[in-house]
Amino acid sequence: GNGAFLADGKGTSLYSKYINKDVVYQIMEFLDQVQPNSYILHDGYNIARKVYSEDFKIGQSQKTHNLEDILENDVGGFFINVGSIEKASEMVNKMRYLFPKVTIHQNLSYVDVSALGIDKAIGMRMISDLFQSDDIWVIGDADNDMSMISSYNSFVVSWADDKIKKEADFIVDSVNEAIKVVDAYGTKSIDG
């Protein structure tokens, strides 16, 4: 989730950063007023959903908890379903003005909210440091991926926005195609 949480393959937390609880409640009040389609509140692992009109089309298999259960723990972020790219852009602008103590990114027709100062490039840097390797390859499709796409060997999918495509090293139609490119380059960076 946007660099705020890192875990190893066994689920052991390597890094986590949370949102101030007062800000969480302010955001929840705001969302109750504007009523997006739905949102997910998470603690870095567990999720709770609040549906106003339409639930997410993704992540339906993950066990959902009550909002109160998540609020008992530290809150890692929100994924807000607003229904369209245009509405998401408007929501991002409004929320960045109202909530300067969190990081807010557009993710296609969704809005991602995470702890202040966190983005995917920071998360990837932590992984790079952990493995002591600069040979990092990333793939993305939306504005919330921009920081890592511009910082690492990168792919974007062919349906991504043009401004994201301009930052990427490669444009691909699938993850499989990206893997073939990485295999062709071996273990060396495209910059060296």
**What is the average pLDDT score of the chain?**
86
Q: Do 153 and 80 have their domain in common? A: no
Q: Do 95 and 28 have their domain in common? A: yes
Q: Do 14 and 81 have their domain in common? A: yes
pTM: 0.78
1 pLDDT above the threshold of 50: no
Q: Do 42 and 94 have their domain in common? A: yes
**Residue holding tokens 């890094």?**
15
pLDDT > 70 fraction of the chain, expressed in percent and rounded: 90
Q: Final residue of a domain: which of 86, 115, 144?
A: 115
Q: Do 21 and 64 have their domain in common? A: yes
Q: Do 100 and 144 have their domain in common? A: no
Q: What is the DSSP string of the chain?
A: -TTSEEE-TT--EEEE--B-HHHHHHHHHHHHHH--SEEEEESSS-EEEEESS---SS-TTS-EE-HHHHHTS-B-EEEEE-SSHHHHHHHHHHHHHH-TTEEEEEETTEEEEEETT--HHHHHHHHHHHHT----EEEE-SGGGHHHHHHSEEEEETTS-HHHHHH-SEEESSHHHHHHHHHHHTTS-TT-
Domain carrying residue 161: 133-185
Q: Final residue of a domain: which of 84, 115, 146?
A: 115
Q: Do 59 and 154 have their domain in common? A: no
In a domain, 122, yes or no: no
pLDDT > 90 fraction of the chain, expressed in percent and rounded: 48
| Domain count across the chain | 2
In a domain, 128, yes or no: no
Average pLDDT over residues 28-37: 97
| pLDDT tens per residue, range 149-187 | 899 999 999 988 888 899 999 999 999 999 998 888 765
Q: Do residues 160 and 144 touch, judged by C-beta distance below 8 A?
A: no
